[in-house]
Amino acid sequence: MPRRPSNRHIRNAIREIIEPRLMELGFTGKYPEFRREWECETHFILFQTAKYGGSFSYSAAWRRRLPYLSHNRPPIPPEEVSLAHTEFDDRASAVRVVPFCLIDSQRSAWRSVGWFDYSYLVENEGDCRALVAEAAALLPALDHWLKTREAGLGVDCKGHRMRLAQSPTQLWHSALRSAGVPTEGARPPMTPHLDAQRAANEAPEYWMEPE
């Protein structure tokens, strides 16, 4: 079994770059989950790493400062709830965005590549710090979403799904190939209901400003 990539440099960079900024924004706690009280709400920030290492992401969520109620279990007081007790629609994630040149418009726009991948720079401390600094740059946008529910560039949430670097057709072919299914000459099935759902939740186009 291959060895899981070390996250030593990434973890140190998160501790030194992002965590102090969270404290400045009023969050408390310790890695991987932080929280703050904001007006009548509780806000959460949670860091996640890929199961087999090599990438990380962080998410935000909010809920009213009320006990968490569930069937056949005692209520959980507000000070003990976590991000896991929030509704999926009340969560947002910071995603890595990179510029892509769009052939049809001959302009460059930002596209999501998902989590922050460090699998090929895991031993390079400087590159790991640069990647974490890139992730930290999205913290103001995520903080703004928590306070206003207004999403911006790099924030992925219901009603604002960042446009992906890969097209749905590419993702379909990749999924088949990973399952060992040949895709030469194949075309994805028509899914108008999914296409409509995707379009309804897609974020606006974020164009790169010309230099």
Residue 33 pLDDT = 98
Q: What is the pTM for the complete model shown?
A: 0.86
Q: Is the pLDDT of residue 166 over 60?
A: yes
Buried b (16+ CB within 10 A) or exposed e, 185-207: eeeeeeeeeeeeeeeeeebeeee
Q: How far apart are CA 145 and CA 139, in angstroms?
A: 10
Alpha helices in the chain (DSSP H): 8-13, 19-24, 125-136, 139-148, 168-178, 192-201
Residue 59 pLDDT = 98
191: confidence class by pLDDT, cuts 50, 70, 90: confident
- Residue-wise pLDDT tens digits, 137-152: 999 999 999 999 999 9
Question: Which segment, 51-55, 100-104, 137-141, is predicted with the most confidence on average?
Answer: 137-141
The verdict on residue 1 lying in a domain is no
Q: How far apart are CA 19 and CA 201, in angstroms?
A: 31
Q: What percent of the chain has pLDDT over 70?
A: 93
Residue 77 pLDDT = 95
193: confidence class by pLDDT, cuts 50, 70, 90: confident
129: confidence class by pLDDT, cuts 50, 70, 90: very high
Q: How far apart are CA 43 and CA 56, in angstroms?
A: 20
Q: What is the extent of the structural domain holding 125? A: 8-165
Q: What percent of the chain has pLDDT over 90?
A: 66
The verdict on residue 203 lying in a domain is no
Residue 84 pLDDT = 95
Residue 55 pLDDT = 95
Tally of domains in the chain: 1
* 135 three-state secondary structure: helix
